[in-house]
Amino acid sequence: MISELCFPFDSDKIMSSKKKLLRLLKEHESGGVPLRIAVLGGSTTSDIIKVLELFLRNRGIVPSFYESEYAQYWSDAVFGTPELDEFKPELVFIHTCSRNIEEKPTVGEDGKSVAEKLEREYARYEKMWTALSEKFGCVIIQNNFEMPSERLLGNREVGCAYGRIDFITRLNCKFYDYAQSHNNFYIHDINYLSAAYGLERWHELRHWHLYKYAMSVSAIPEFAYSLSNIICSVMGKNKKVLALDLDNTLWGGVIGDDGQSGIEIGSETSEGQSYLRLQKYVKAHKELGVLLTVCSKNDPENALEGLNHPDGVLKPSDFALIKANWNEKSLNLEETAQELNLLPESFVFVDDNPVECDIVKAQTPEIVTINFENPEECIRAIDKCGYFEVTNLSADDAKRGEMYAANAQRAAAEKKFASYDDFLASLEMSAVIGEFDPVHIPRITQLTNKSNQFNCTTKRYTQTEMEAVAASPDYIRLCGRLTDKFGDNGIVSVVIGEKRGSELHIDLWLMSCRVLKRGMEYAMINRLVEEAAKAGITEIFGYYYPTKKNAMVSKLYEDFGFAQVSDDNGNTVWRLEVTGYSPKKIFIDIKENENG
Amino acid sequence: MDREKIIARLTEVFQDVFDDEELQISDDTTADDIEAWDSLEHISLIAAVEKAFKMRFTMKEVSGMKNVGEMISILCERAKKC
C-alpha cells in the first residue's frame, strides 16, 4: 500500500501527483482483482476516474473503465452503446448531481403538479437502473442528490410544496426506497459527503462553469475515496479486525500507574465521557462483524483491571484476543493474526502514540494504522476511514465475535487431549452440507470474495453471478455449515463444480480459516464425490492456482487422493476417478438440512 | 516573491503534475510543448498552481492563458499585491 493513498490523505497532494502515484502503484502491483467499471456521468468524470483508480489499486483492485461521453449517462444506460455492451460492466457508477434534475418546481406551483414532476424525475432514474441490471446484471452505485448552492426561498425551500430542497429530499427518499428493495444497488451518499466537506466549498462554481465538474476539484479525492469504500466493500476488501491500544486510547491515563480508580472513563468527567463515547462506538463495530482485539504494552493483569472498570462498556469478553505484554506491537499484531488465522492485511491498528503507529507501519506495512491525539478525533478517524464500510451484512457478521471467542476456548480444550483425534471427537461437531439456499447467497458471495488462504482458484463472484450459478443446472454446488459444542461457525465452506458430460471441473474450493484442521474439507469432498456419483459423473478435476496467500492448499487435492495431471508454472490440475475414491475419516456428524 | 523564485516554484509544480523531474519551462512553453498537457491535465495543473501559490485565477484568466509566460505574469502581479 502507498501511504499517500491511505486514510488520512492529503487531497491536494493526490490531485497534483496523480501521474506519479499511478506509476508507483503499477510498479508495485501484484495480483490485484480485475474489475470492469462503467462510469456514466451527468457532469465531467475524468479526474474522478483517475483518482478512483488510485484508491482501488491501493486496495488490491485493478479497474478498467468505460466512461460515457459528457452528460450521456441516461441514454448510455437506457439505450446502451456498442462500446458499453462490449465492455460488459461488472459495476456501473451513475454520477449525477442536483444539477442533473431536469424538472424543478417553480415558485408558487401547486402540490399536485410538483408531485407529478417528482414522479417523472424519479421514473427517469428507475428506468436506467432496470435497464442496466437487466442487460448486465451488474452492481449499480448511484449518487443521491446534494443540496444546491443557492436558496432562492431561504428557509422556505423546505416545508413548502414548491421548495426545491423539499423536492430534492423527496427524490432522495425515493432512491432510498429503491435501494432497500433491490440487491446489488447502493447509494453513494454525496448529500452527507458534501455537507461534511462544507457545502460552500463543495460548490466551487468556477469549476462548474470552467470544467463542468459537479464539485470543487479539491473535493475529488474525498469523493473518489468515499466511492472506493463502497466498491472495496462489495469486492470483499473490508478490513476484519480493529486492534486497539489501551492507555490513552480506550481510557485516559495509564492503568499501570494510575490504577483502576485513577483512569478517565465514564460519565463523571468530560474526558471520561469522551472515552466512554469512544468505547461505545468501538463496541458497536461488533454488530458489523468486526473483531476487536487489544494490543497494549501493559502487564496482562493491569490490562484486565482497566477493561473491568465498572463505568467502561468494553469488557474483556468483547475482545477476540487480548495481547498485553511488553513485546513490539508489530510482533504482537502478527501473532494475533496467526492465532485468529487471519492475514495482517485484515488489521486496522489504533494507537494514540504516533511512534508505535510508525513502527507498526515500518515492520508490517500491510497493517493500516490510525493515530489520533484525542478521543473525539479517534471516533471521527475510524468513522471516515471507510475500512469497515457496510454493504451487505450477512447474518453471520453479527456473530463473528462470538465465533472467534469460541475458537479460543477450543484452542484451550485442544491442549487437554492425548491425541488430535480425541480432541476432534470431543468437539461434538455436526455439519449441514447441501445445496445453496437463496437466503445464504450473500454470505456465500462474501466468502468467495474474502477467502484468500484456503482457496484453490481464488475465483471471485459478484452476487449476481452467484445467483446465476445457483440457478443453473450445469453445476454441483455445496455449502457447508459447521457447529460444535462451543458454538455455530456459520457457513464456512463453498464448493462449485461445473458439469461437462461425465466430467466435473471444480471451479471453486474454499473454506474459512477459522475451521482449519477440523476435517471439514474431508466432509466436503466425501459429499462432493457422493453427489457427483449420483449425477453420473465419472471423473472429477481439481485446479490449484497459486497466489501469494494460498500455499496451504497447494497439496489439497493430493491429500484428497487426486492424481496430478499437469503443472504449468505452478498452476496444477488434478484428477480423481469417482469409483476409485475412498471416503475420508471424519469426526463430524453430517446432517441433510438445518433441522435434520 | 520575485520572478526567479516564482519560475523555480512553478517548475516544481509542472514536474509534479506531469511526473517528469527533468521538465523545464520558459515563457514560451505552451501545451503543445508538453505531451501530457491536454485540456484535462490543464485542470489539475491550474488547481496545483493555485494551491502552491495560495491564490486563485479568475475564470477569464484560466481560459485566456496562452503560454507559461502569461501564467508567470499573472503570478507576479498577484505577488505584488500581497
**Do A227 and A256 belong together in one domain?**
no
Residue A549 has pLDDT above 90, yes or no: no
At position A341, the amino acid (one-letter code) is N
Domain boundary among A213, A234, A255: A234
**Do A230 and A246 belong together in one domain?**
no
A304 lies in a domain?
Answer: yes
Convert A332-363 to b/e letters by CB count within 10 Å (16 or more is b).
bbbebbebbbbbbbbbbbbbbeeebbebbbee
Q: Give the C-alpha separation, B32 to B18, whole Å.
A: 14
Count of A–B CB contacts within 8 Å? Answer: 43
**Do A261 and A159 belong together in one domain?**
no
Instruction: For residue A418, give the DSSP letter.
Output: S
**A549 and A450 in contact (C-beta within 8 Å)?**
no
Distances (CA, A) of B73 to B3, B33, B38: 9, 19, 22
- Within 10 Å of residue A505's Cβ, how many Cβ atoms? 16
Least confident of A98-107, A364-373, A398-407: A398-407
**Do A112 and A176 belong together in one domain?**
yes
**Do A206 and A268 belong together in one domain?**
no
Give the cell for residue A72. Answer: 450521456
Give the cell for residue A377. Answer: 478525533
Closest residue in B to A16 (Cα) is B17
Q: Give the C-alpha separation, A43 to A34, whole Å.
A: 26
**Alpha carbon of residue B48 to chain centroid:** 8
Give the cell for residue A74. Answer: 441516461
**Do A273 and A343 belong together in one domain?**
yes
- Parallel, antiparallel, or unpaired: how do β-strands A241-244 and A475-484 relate? unpaired
Residues 215 through 254 of chain A touching chain B, CB cutoff 8 Å: 217-218
Between A259 and A405, name the one with better pLDDT: A259
**A574 and A566 in contact (C-beta within 8 Å)?**
no
**Do A463 and A546 belong together in one domain?**
yes
Q: Give the C-alpha separation, A216 to A204, whole Å.
A: 5
| Contacts for B73 with CB less than 8 Å, ≥ 6 apart | none
Closest residue in A to B42 (Cα) is A211
Domain boundary among A234, A252, A276: A234
Instruction: For residue B66, give the DSSP letter.
Output: -
B36 inside 8 A of chain A by CB: yes
The answer to whether A47 contacts B13, with C-beta atoms less than 8 Å apart, is no
A318: domain CATH number is 3.40.50.1000
A127 inside 8 A of chain B by CB: no
Q: How many CA atoms lie within 13 A of A45 on its CB side?
A: 25
**A254 and A353 in contact (C-beta within 8 Å)?**
no
Q: How confident is the model at residue A135 (pLDDT cuts 50, 70, 90)?
A: very high
Instruction: For residue A272, give the DSSP letter.
Output: H
Query: Which of B9, B10, B16 is best to mutate for the A interface (most A CBs within 10 A)?
Result: B16
B8 inside 8 A of chain A by CB: no
Query: Residue A217 is nearest to which of B13, B36, B47, comparing CB atoms?
Result: B47
Residue A594: the pLDDT is 61
Domain count, chain A: 3
Residues of A in contact with B36 (CB under 8 A): 19
Positive or negative CA dihedral for B60, B65, B68, B74?
negative
Kindly compute the dihedral angle of the four CA atoms of residues A453, A458, A463, A469, in this order, to the nearest 10 degrees: -120
- Within 10 Å of residue A501's Cβ, how many Cβ atoms? 9
Positive or negative CA dihedral for B33, B34, B40, B42?
negative
Rounded to two decimals, the pTM is 0.79
In tens, the pLDDT along A315-373 reads: 999 999 999 999 999 999 999 999 888 899 999 999 999 999 999 999 999 999 999 98
**Do A191 and A57 belong together in one domain?**
yes
A209 inside 8 A of chain B by CB: yes
**Do A16 and A125 belong together in one domain?**
yes
Q: Give the C-alpha separation, A262 to A62, whole Å.
A: 50
**A8 and A62 in contact (C-beta within 8 Å)?**
no
**Do A524 and A507 belong together in one domain?**
yes
A399 lies in a domain?
Answer: no
In tens, the pLDDT along A497-511 reads: 999 999 999 999 999
**Do A445 and A482 belong together in one domain?**
yes
In tens, the pLDDT along A56-84 reads: 999 999 999 999 999 999 999 999 999 99
**Do A332 and A211 belong together in one domain?**
no
Domain that holds residue A304: 241-385
A391 lies in a domain?
Answer: no
Phi/psi of residue A488, nearest 5 degrees: -95, 125
Closest CA to A220 of A387, A9, A6, A3: A9
Residue A20: the pLDDT is 94
Domain boundary among A364, A385, A406: A385
Least confident of A448-457, A553-562, B45-54: A448-457
| Contacts for A200 with CB less than 8 Å, ≥ 6 apart | A149
* Structure ipTM: 0.89
A24 inside 8 A of chain B by CB: no
A453: domain CATH number is 3.40.630.30
A596 lies in a domain?
Answer: no
Closest CA to A11 of B36, B44, B20: B44
CATH value of B3-81 in 3.40.50.880, 3.40.50.720, 3.40.50.2000, 1.10.1200.10: 1.10.1200.10
Which whole number is the average pLDDT over A2-7?
92
Residue A596 has pLDDT above 70, yes or no: no
Give the cell for residue A271. Answer: 474526558
Domain residue ranges of chain B, discontinuous segments joined by +? 3-81
